[in-house]
Chain A
Amino acid sequence: MPQLDEKPRVLLEEFRVKNAPNDYGMADEKWSFKKFTKKFRIVIVRMDNFEMEFDLIGIQPAFANAFRRLMLSEVPSMAIEKVMIRNNTSIIQDEVLAHRLGLIPLKADPRLFEYRPEDATEGTEFNTLEFSMKVKCTLNKSQPKDSYRAEDLYENHSVYSSQIKWQPIGNQASVHKEADIGPVHGDILVSKMRPGHELDLSLVAVKGIGRDHAKFSPVATASYRLLPEVTLTREVRGSEASLLQSCFAPGVISLDSEGRAYVRDARYDTCSRNVYRYEEIKDAVILSRVRDHFIFNVESVGAMQPNVIFVEAVKILRDKCKSFLDELNKFN
């Protein structure tokens, strides 16, 4: 067995996940800020408005997990919380309609808003966004002959999220730009209607957190995985090499000019462990993952950029720590 370097490992055996023999777990390690700053790195691998992949290297799983959890459940975002139904003659039930509307991601920077107090009956311009939705389905007067498609026969037979209109209250119109407020995606189907059906709703969006309801979560999902590592223990060549190659995600194993297999990049391996199905090459690899290398994947729902969400999560953790320290200091 080749000597693993000092990175903590977790071994993916055939039937279980096992800590490396020389790894006593990071929990035992004494925390030192110096050591941490020396080791800790953040590498952003990929980022756009909706998705981000970045590495957190040299950090305890508790921290990584805390960030993941905070992003899921404590970073606030805006979502429709109340639906005032003035008229709903569509076939969709009031509660179901309200539930569907609630799940529509809204474009609104939650940092610019406050939480609405629980006992408040009226929203203010600082904690509430109001929208309206007024749709009526009618027969298409100028319908083409011989067409029986719903889109030709009727007008407004499908209600989309783009039909949600922002109604600024107070000073909101000057503070926020029209383009900054509203549903992120305009093509979310809310309901289907037929002539005679009508929706007349006013919607109230407030700031909330994912723990109260999944609709307030700013991320579609935020999760991480550990960096996979594939180590070859012996030379593998010929047909075995190509078999080995097929057991991993494309690009993990490459063959050199002499037909020998070598590990090119294990980062995007799916850890399917399918090598263990083949007796002949089972012994040629050690599958493992680096325990302090977290590959984060944050998918934003659209209200905030994923990097912002992560920073918000860090801030929340900081605030929590602060308040915890404050509490502790009270006793001193």
Chain B
Amino acid sequence: MGEINKRQNDWDSSKGLREPVKTLEDKWKLVPSFLQVKGLVKQHIDSFNYFINVEIKKIVQANEKVFCDADPLFYIKYLNAYVGTPDLEEGYNVTKPTTPHECRLRDMTYSAPITVDIEYIRGNQRVIKNKQLIGRMPLMLRSSNCVLTNKSDFELAQLNECPHDPGGYFIIRGQEKVILIQEQLSRNRMIVDEFKGAIQCQVTSSTHEKKTRTNVIVKNGKYVLRHNALSDDIPIAVAFKAMGICSDQEIMQLIGSDDTSMKKMAPCIMDCHNLKIFTQNQALSYIGSKLKVKRFQTGGAKIRTPVDEARDLLATTILAHVAVENYNFYVKAIYLAIMVKRVIEAETNKAAIDDPDYYGNKRLELAGSLLALMFEDLFKRFNWELKSIADKIIPKVKAAPFDVVKHMRPDLIANGLFAAISTGNWTIKRFKMERHGVTQVLSRLSYISALGMMTRVNSQFEKTRKVSGPRSLQPSQWGMLCPSDTPEGEACGLVKNLALMTHITTECSEVPIARLARNAGVEDVRILGGEEINHPAVYMVFLNGNILGVSRQYKRLIQVFRMFRRRGLISAFVSIYPNHNQRTVYICSDGGRLCRPYIIVEKGSPLVQQSHINELNRGIRRFQDFLNDGLIEYLDVNEENDSHIATFENEIDPYVTTHLEIEPFTILGVCAGLVPYPHHNQSPRNTYQCAMGKQAMGTIGYNQKNRIDTLMYNLVYPQCPMVKTRTIELTNFDKLPAGQNATVAVMSYSGYDIEDALILNRASIDRGYGRCLVYKSAKTTMKRYSNQTSDRILGPSRDATTGKIIRAHEILDTDGIAAPGEMVENRQVLINKQMPPATLNPVTQGQPQQVEYKDVPITYKGPVESYIEKVMVSSNSEDAFLIKILLRQTRIPEIGDKFSSRHGQKGVTGLIVQQEDMPFNDRGICPDMIMNPHGFPSRMTVGKTIELLAGKAGLLEGKFHYGTAFGGSKVSDVCNELEKHGYNYHGKDIFYSGLTGEPLEAYIYSGPVYYQKLKHMVQDKMHARARGPRAVLTRQPTEGRSRDGGLRLGEMERDCLIGYGASMLLMERLMLASDAFSADICGACGRLASRAWCHACRSSAAVSSVDMPYACKLLFQELASMNIVPKLTLKKYC
């Protein structure tokens, strides 16, 4: 109590107020605590859980009844919908529970049945059927219905799953697929922007039924309403009149009766008069005349008058999200008036134009909402199909009564969902939505690349457009999106990554919020006139973009809402913030908003006290408790802008500060979090590292040895970095590392280290540095065909004369599949498969006829041999045999292999030096790697030099140092540690040349730096050819390494040779070494002859043989085929 009194006194005395706020020790521990609850991919999982547990029921309820035209009594009513637990269909109505790993291995889809309870009419009876299967839902790993949720590490290990695998992806036909987070402008919000010099206010309305866009535009100084369903712009006054606001005074009152508005509106009102529109009916018929002609009338049953059509359009299509009851347009008119008001305001005040790149105006769409769209579309199609079946069958007289259940095909919904996820094409005709590349295959190059993919945000912007606005870093992205992690090149700034503490909201119900707002003094607009609404003392209140009412005490309203939220009485993710320019208060509870937690500051001191942190340390307090106790709250981008947030305790200003950052390093994402001391680096270097960290080899999960991926890179001896960051620990990178700590000497050596090349120590390589395993897989299925035949596998063939197994089949086991442990060389057979001929008579009666099988062996290709790690024989979803072979190579670093530190400093091995030639220091230490110091000045990667120091001190001290962003071990402390152990304070040691044995003149900066081996290795790239395959059409050498192609002497190289005058070399390269051809030409007519006979001249007298490129001859023939006759004039020159 004394404590509280003291604080009270501090508040009273201004001296106490100005006292610096004590820093909270170990405040960062809130971050792991947060991640424990929320996890790095929690947004995906939350969104998917919401979809399968809540939204799917809503969708089914919204489309609950199916009627039939043929029988008015017939109906189907969906009572409820469920998504079950994952299983596999094994034959008809037989299912078996499955695990994600089984699906990965067997190329199956990890999915669960969607069942519904239905009530329908069979014959004359009403029947209720429960658990009727209507489709299958691909399941997100670690979602609520997944088998992996709430499992201990041991249980996960038994399911062959890595405990550090984040989940959040799908497995479709054995492929891991991620639905990327999609970024888009928020719906149902007014956005004022300038388009080609004209101000417009745009609203994209979105409801379950419709998605439309409504604009209010300035056109020739007048305001007009523009909508896709209308063929022409409608003067705004006409629109108001059509909505039943017929008097001009009323219109003006709604818009605002100040001078500027009156002046600006006058021409519009005039316009309306000129059109002679005074009543609602007149206005509606005017709009009716501007309707777009519908191409195909549906049904043709109801033909309505244009007035009715226009009224309907106004009610349901224009500003669709503003609900209209009983054709009472009043609220919609107010909404339209506000739009006009915004435009008027923006015309005079450019600052009122909204920034479309501002993150408060963005919403992120996650797997759940995307799947919901897809599912609703498929469900509607499913119902429509049921209806058309009922229409067709019911009129027919049949023995058994029509049972609709028998016509429910679960394939439609299942295949629709599977196809969408596996192709990434999201086509929903209803909304004219067509998106490609929504899903991507989860990259399993390294653990970090998989994790980085889960936090990726994809923008809807076209990549080809050269715009800078949406690409540049927006201040409002602070703390929500990683400022470093974005690709270079065309997708730069459009593909982003979430920061560490970002959470994406899922929708929560509006009803209680609306009720609370009413109780907090929000008055309904329907009972108010224009003057009251636009009264300067009044703030308009919006809930998710819809008008909720007006409030005279907006401050109180906001306070009440925040208090309720902190008490946990409304969802923690509801945000409320005022906009003083627009005199509005916005309340948001919609899904897809970005938000992050902050510590609440009251009266100049953070509510989270040291005692709370101590409780957290002792494990008796969790993150949720901080939320429940109102010590921490989530702020979304908009509300963040209404808050005053201090980064550190000493920045708290008692009069204005409302919140305190939890930890500044959380503004970075997963990939940028790997970089030690990123705040000392030039910013692009961190961006480069973000791209390269995804190519680093290492470990991909504890289950990596059980996986059979098409390509997998592993390091033989991965190490945890000497210099860690908090993020590394939070993301478990230290448990699944991708790199090794190399002792680096920063010096120049031999000249083979220019242009970032590295010098490696032979002995280090001999001892296992940089050694990696490359796994590739070969796979085949044994298909069964309709004509009773199937593929088969034969044992190894023997040479007819010697009786020995032929070389290509040497590694085959007696079953015809390569044996584990064997070494495979180029062109050896892995699976000796045979296929029956395709054109086999399907009508085979009696005994199966003897057929000639065709060899279709699965062979190994590659210049370097591999070993067979394991063979898997199983069956896939089509019941065919599935054979997968895992091949392994161990690769030792060689010249040309690419390495990179964690600071965007990549380089290839330039030379491998014997240990005795390497420089050594007093203690006999030779570096593993020599890096040229020229890499530093222009790159300005000071973080790397600090990493080296901290790593060295860590080695001596026997501990890990931290290089956490905006924190970490201090350089002075690190250097003092070095000094304590008898090392030079600056980290520079005396080295002796390994060649001469004398001390080097310079002191060498040396110590451990974490180096990543990147996936680019010479072995995969080396290519040369003397002779080889040629393309069929042109007879020129093929292109590309995979086809053993030639190396092209291109245009520019050709120019050089021309310039030099090396005509014979040119001839040799371009013709002789490529497609030389001896063509017969008729000297008389100049045309091509065939076999020394000119068909045109009917003689062989003048035919001579000319060497030319085959492509030239081909061109002549192709021209001739188009009735263009090229002729050659032949002359003797010698």
Contact = CB atoms under 8 A, between A and B. Distances in A.
Nearest to B990: A271
Contacts of A297: 924
A58 interface: no
Interface in A187-231: 210-211, 213-215, 217, 221-226
A94 B717 CA distance: 15
Interface stretch (B263-271, B470-478, B630-638, B991-999): B991-999
B15 interface: no
B715 to A, nearest CB: 11
Contacts of A61: 996-998
A18 B767 contact: no
A274 B996 contact: no
A72 B763 CA distance: 10
Nearest to B982: A270
A270 B983 contact: yes
Interface stretch (B902-910, B914-922, B1083-1091, B1123-1131): B914-922
Given A85-B821, A91-B705, A96 B716 contact: yes
A277 interface: yes
A161 to B, nearest CB: 16
B1002 interface: yes
Contact of B999 (A10, A15, A277): A10
Contacts of A291: 998
B67 to A, nearest CB: 62
A16 B766 contact: no
Contacts of A272: 979, 982-985
B93 to A, nearest CB: 37
Contacts of A300: none
Nearest to B979: A274
A303 to B, nearest CB: 17
Contact of A99 (B762, B771, B922, B997): B771
A12 B767 contact: no
Contacts of A16: 1001-1003
A213 B869 contact: no
Contacts of A210: 763, 915-916
B1002 A225 contact: no
Given A69-B994, A215-B766, A93 B890 contact: yes
Contacts of B995: 65
Contact of B1000 (A17, A65, A96, A270): A17
Given A93-B773, A270-B982, A271-B990, A72 B916 contact: yes
A273 B766 CA distance: 34
B916 A62 contact: no
Contacts of B821: 85, 88, 94
A289 interface: yes
A16 B990 CA distance: 9
B863 interface: no
Nearest to A272: B984
Given A210-B915, A271-B922, A65 B996 contact: yes
B469 interface: no
Residue among B766, B768, B1001 facing the most chain A CB atoms (10 A cut-off): B766
A273 B979 CA distance: 10
B914 A73 contact: yes
A64 interface: yes
Interface in B760-774: 762-763, 766-768, 771, 773
A95 interface: yes
Contacts of A17: 990, 999-1003
B503 interface: no
Interface in A97-149: 99, 103
Contact of B990 (A12, A73, A95, A274): A12
Given A15-B1003, A215-B766, A271-B990, A95 B996 contact: no
B867 interface: yes
B888 interface: yes
Contacts of A99: 716, 768, 771
A217 B762 CA distance: 12
Interface in A210-260: 210-211, 213-215, 217, 221-226, 249
Nearest to A70: B916
Interface string A271-304: 1111001000000000001010000010100000
Interface string B723-765: 0000000000000000000000000000000000000001100
Nearest to A213: B766
Nearest to A71: B916
B721 to A, nearest CB: 22
A157 interface: no
Nearest to B926: A221
Contacts of A226: 999
Residue among B869, B923, B925 facing the most chain A CB atoms (10 A cut-off): B923
Interface size class of B (residues with CB under 8 A): 35 or more
A214 B1000 contact: no
A272 B986 CA distance: 9
Interface in B422-458: none
Interface string B694-725: 00000000000100000000001000000000
Contacts of B766: 213-215
B942 to A, nearest CB: 20
B1107 to A, nearest CB: 50
B982 A72 contact: no
A200 B922 CA distance: 43
Nearest to A269: B982
Nearest to A289: B999
A68 B990 contact: no
Contacts of B990: 12, 17, 271
Interface string A1-38: 00000000010100111100000000000000000000
Contacts of B716: 96, 99
B890 to A, nearest CB: 4
Contact of A93 (B869, B924, B997, B1002): B869
Contacts of B922: 225, 270-271
A91 B869 CA distance: 10
Contact of A211 (B768, B914, B1001): B914
A214 B763 contact: yes
Contacts of A289: 999
Interface string B36-48: 0000000000000
Given A95-B890, A96-B716, A221-B924, A214 B762 contact: yes
Contacts of A85: 821
A69 B916 contact: yes
Interface in B866-891: 867, 869, 888, 890
Given A73-B914, A103-B767, A270-B922, A249 B999 contact: no
A66 to B, nearest CB: 8
Interface string B994-1021: 1111111111000000000000000000
A88 B868 CA distance: 13
Nearest to A248: B982
B763 A217 contact: yes
B705 A223 contact: no
Nearest to B763: A214
Contacts of A215: 766
Contacts of A249: 982
- List the 9 shortest-distance A-B pairs measured between CB atoms, nearest first: A65-B997, A223-B924, A214-B766, A270-B982, A214-B763, A69-B916, A61-B997, A95-B890, A225-B922
16 contacts: A10-B999, A16-B1001, A17-B999, A17-B1002, A17-B1003, A61-B998, A65-B996, A69-B994, A94-B821, A96-B771, A223-B992, A224-B992, A226-B999, A249-B982, A272-B984, A274-B984
Interface of A: 10, 12, 15-18, 61-62, 64-66, 68-69, 72-73, 85, 88, 91, 93-96, 99, 103, 210-211, 213-215, 217, 221-226, 249, 270-274, 277, 289, 291, 297, 299
Given A73-B916, A224-B992, 19 more contacts: A15-B1003, A16-B1001, A16-B1002, A65-B997, A73-B914, A88-B821, A91-B705, A93-B890, A103-B767, A103-B768, A210-B916, A211-B914, A213-B766, A217-B763, A271-B990, A272-B979, A273-B984, A274-B984, A274-B985
